[in-house]
A and B are shown apart, each in its own frame.
Chain A
Amino acid sequence: MSLAAVIATLLGVSLTAYALFAGADFGAGILDLLAADRGADRGAIAASIGPVWEANHVWLIFSITILFSAFPVAFSALGTALLAPLTVALVAIVLRSVALGLRGSPATPVRIQVRLSRLFGAASFVAPLAFGAVAGALAEVSSSSNVTASGVPHIPWTGAFALLTGLLAVGLCAQLASTFVALGLVRSQERRLAERFRLRGLQSGVGVLLLGLAAPAVAAISAPTVWHKLVGPALPLLIVGVGAEALSLLTLWRRHYRLARGACLITAAAVMWGWFVSQAPHLIGPRLTIHTAAATHAALVSIAIAGGIVLLLVLPAMYLLFAVFARPELEVTE
């Protein structure tokens, strides 16, 4: 495996971590939007996000950093061709995290909290929609033949296939969050409340399953290059994804929440890697691959080392965070 491929894999891992963890956080925002005025639901959702959000969100920053250090030309092309949808995603992420931060402040009055909640929910919906659409559109043009003068094809992020992948991302986020919240509630013996999130999980799961099954069909009609990959190298991942989704629905139905959450995580990971495989080794358009867009060897070496340091430091620290967060509060001495 070449060094560029190693780093591209690292990028894939980092993006997958973002999709799984931040995906669940986005999903929490979507559920929050659906929870309307039910305070108990809100509380359960908020408790599942807690302090972990900022840390989850760093995976995105890390992915961007790897992308622009290791594949600067591709980063540049992405920024130019996707200025609009990425700006939309960016604004959504910012509004989301600010709304969440301020809403959580004990000093914020209830009336404002309600508005911030709505903003938080809407932004949580828009961000995965935009990211999913961008991913679908990138897969669609990865071996396209009509390239513009700049070497980058027009990227159809508003096309039919992009809409499908955008919605798929939204559905996955919602389902991930439902399983996380439901499991948390069952653990703290709040079974009645958990039922509501089970229902949400089933609803979004059915949506995900339908979209997943529709993907090859829509690709066949409107994105032939993706179709070839989906029935070719990406087929195993498609099968794993659909299978895990079916399992997740089944286990959710039978109230095996742990299994349901695991299966749902596998579905999301399979979708991400299905995307990578459908466009590997292309980063954007047919010309910019992980080899043609790579920085110099010395730069790649330094990034691989820095990436290794990140994993060494971050994984134990992450573990610590989750462990502390899972602890009950001590007696408050004030």
Chain B
Amino acid sequence: MNPLPLAAISHLTAGRSQIGTSLSFHLFFAVLGVGLPLMMLVAEGMHLRTGDPVWRALARRWSKVFAVLFAVGAASGTIISFELGLLFPRFMAYAGGIIGLPFSLEGAAFFIEAIFVGIYLYGWNRLSPRVHWLSGIPIAISAVASAFFIVTANAWMNVPRGFQIVHGRVTHVDPLAAMFNPAWATETSHMVFGAYLATAFGIAAVYAVGMLRGRRDAYHRKAIAVALSMAAILAPLQVAVGDLLGRTVANHQPATLAAIEGVTHTERGAGLNVGGFPLPGHNGDVLNVKVPHLLSLLAFDNPKAPVRGLDTFPKADRTPLAPYVRLAFIGMVGIGTGLVALSLWYWLRRRRGSNGPEDRVTLMAIAAAGPAAFVANELGWLVSELGRQPWIVYGVFRTSSGITTSPGLGATFTAFTLLYVGLTALTLWSVRRIASTPVEGLPTAALGVA
């Protein structure tokens, strides 16, 4: 009898689930780690310019939340660095020497970020306001840099370049060609925009909830306005970059494209499936609207171009979880479209009045958009990671060849899952505590609370 409930699943599944859980957990903090420093800079910069204490209060509040999130983000990132070797040692033996460059540069970015986070958080009362604001800039830059470097490594897993395999050994390594593989630009920008977008909507959502609870003051209005101005620029950009990323996938990962778009049989002049939920027992046609030729046009700039169906791939090379990849993709695109619509609505309405719409429906939509933007990031990564399967490095190295030979993954997976549940609970609790302490540094008048 096995005392551990999760220990019964297969070795490979346990390893994949463990690294997947760890990355999904880390992503939540990584997204805020990229986005919050910029928001803090904006708010503190507005304080420097206008002298309005509301801005400073916002920046301080966000920096407190950031301190907790950064600690958990760093811890969860450390877990992943270890797990790459503990769970997928044979993959690391293969890939470490090829994508070591972005990982080492990421190390540099972490250093800078961690050091300036220390300066920034402990510097509120030790540095002059201007110097303090300046000390936030390296944080914002290095956070984007670390996301950039790590995602180039992931782009390499999707579109591997810069090496040759001779007699089963990696040779002719060109670290720059590996890092700047054909997917680097689209994948990194989609990730960075995604992080900013989620942070912006996340912040707007927190304050929208506050307003729904009747706290309609300058503090809440300013927070929503600054967040939604960023969102309004980013949301359309993100959709456009997503389209470019889709073309990258189309050109380099045909099996992934077929899974994403739900193309079972090869089609010449393929139509785009809008909807088409892959429910079991239905052939991917639930609520489907097929727009003729659009997929071929979007993916290959040619309405007649053929799109390969999943059934043309040998069974062993087909994306095993294709329906889930499709579902995740529909979810991401759906949310993306919704976010664009919401920010358009907000700014069209705001131009007429000075305060922006504050009716219940708009506020509720904003409150829902925050979590949705985080979900879109998670879904996008599921598309990328599940969509690459059965490959850990697309087309050249299988996930099943990368897993460790050491036993006991069922136990480590169980332990880490429990750890994550605990960490999530603790973090949520701590952030809520911070949120429910009164705003300091503000005369009550500025809050305008009755």
Contacts and interface: CB of A to CB of B under 8 A. Distances in A.
Interface of A: 50-52, 54-55, 57-58, 60-62, 64-66, 68-73, 75-81, 83-84, 86-87, 90-91, 93-95, 97-98, 100-102, 104-108, 150, 295-296, 298-299, 302-303, 306-307, 309-310, 313-314, 317-318, 320-321, 324-325, 327-332, 334
Interface string B394-419: 00000000001110100010010001
Interface stretch (B94-102, B193-201, B271-279, B361-369): B94-102
A80 B89 contact: yes
B68 interface: yes
Given A309-B105, A330-B125, 7 more contacts: A65-B103, A78-B85, A106-B64, A299-B101, A302-B101, A317-B115, A320-B115
5 contacts: A80-B89, A81-B406, A83-B406, A295-B173, A310-B111
A60 B81 CA distance: 10
Interface stretch (B6-14, B116-124, B297-305, B382-390): B116-124
Across the A-B interface, the 10 shortest Cβ-Cβ residue pairs: A69-B100, A295-B97, A101-B71, A72-B96, A51-B118, A79-B85, A107-B433, A306-B104, A76-B93, A76-B89
Nearest to B170: A296
B355 interface: no
Given A51-B119, A94-B75, A75 B92 contact: yes
B108 interface: yes
Given A51-B117, A78-B85, A87-B412, A72 B175 contact: no
A278 to B, nearest CB: 23
Nearest to B97: A295
A307 B64 CA distance: 32
Contacts of B430: 102, 105, 107-108
B433 A72 contact: no
Contacts of A50: 118, 122
B71 A97 contact: yes
B22 to A, nearest CB: 11
Contacts of B172: 296, 298
B70 A54 contact: yes
A76 B170 CA distance: 15
Contacts of A83: 86, 404, 406, 408, 412
A298 B82 contact: no
B68 A80 contact: no
Given A76-B93, A296-B170, A298-B174, A60 B104 contact: no
A91 B64 contact: no
Contacts of B404: 79-80, 83
Contact of A299 (B81, B126, B175): B175
A75 B90 CA distance: 9
B72 interface: yes
Interface stretch (B251-259, B326-334, B434-442): B434-442
A308 to B, nearest CB: 10
B78 A94 contact: yes
Nearest to B129: A333
B106 interface: yes
Given A107-B437, A325-B122, A299 B97 contact: yes
Contacts of A78: 85
B111 A79 contact: no
Interface residues of B, number: 76
A307 B430 CA distance: 37
Interface of B: 64, 67-68, 70-72, 74-79, 81-82, 84-87, 89-90, 92-101, 103-108, 110-112, 114-119, 121-123, 125-127, 138, 170-176, 404-406, 408, 412, 415, 419, 423, 426-427, 430, 433-434, 436-437, 440-441
Contacts of B84: 68, 79
Contacts of B72: 98, 101
A80 B90 CA distance: 9
A75 B173 contact: no
B175 A302 contact: yes
Dominant secondary structure at the A interface: helix
A309 B108 contact: yes
Given A62-B107, A79-B86, A98 B75 contact: yes
A61 B121 contact: no
A81 B103 CA distance: 23
Nearest to A331: B125
A64 B81 contact: yes
A150 to B, nearest CB: 7
A313 B173 contact: no
Given A94-B76, A313-B108, A295 B114 contact: no
B426 A98 contact: yes
A323 B172 CA distance: 45
Given A105-B68, A296-B171, A314 B111 contact: yes
Nearest to B409: A83
Given A75-B89, A296-B173, A334-B441, A105 B434 contact: yes
A105 B81 CA distance: 27
Given A83-B86, A97-B71, A314 B406 contact: no
Contacts of A324: 118-119, 122-123, 126-127
B126 A69 contact: no
Contacts of A331: 125
A105 B70 CA distance: 12
Nearest to B118: A51
A221 to B, nearest CB: 30
Given A75-B89, A108-B433, A97 B64 contact: no
A52 B86 CA distance: 28
A61 B149 CA distance: 15
Nearest to A90: B82
A220 B64 CA distance: 53
Nearest to A319: B115
Contacts of B118: 50-52, 54-55, 321, 324-325
Given A69-B103, A91-B415, A107-B433, A51 B121 contact: yes
Contact of A320 (B96, B110, B119): B119
A317 B121 contact: no
A310 B142 CA distance: 13
Contacts of B115: 55, 314, 317-318, 320-321
A302 B440 CA distance: 48
A207 B3 CA distance: 40
A61 B426 contact: no
B249 to A, nearest CB: 27
A334 B172 CA distance: 61
A54 B117 contact: yes
Contacts of A86: 82, 86
B174 A87 contact: no
A4 B441 CA distance: 55
A89 to B, nearest CB: 9
A55 B176 CA distance: 28
B444 to A, nearest CB: 14
A100 B172 CA distance: 45
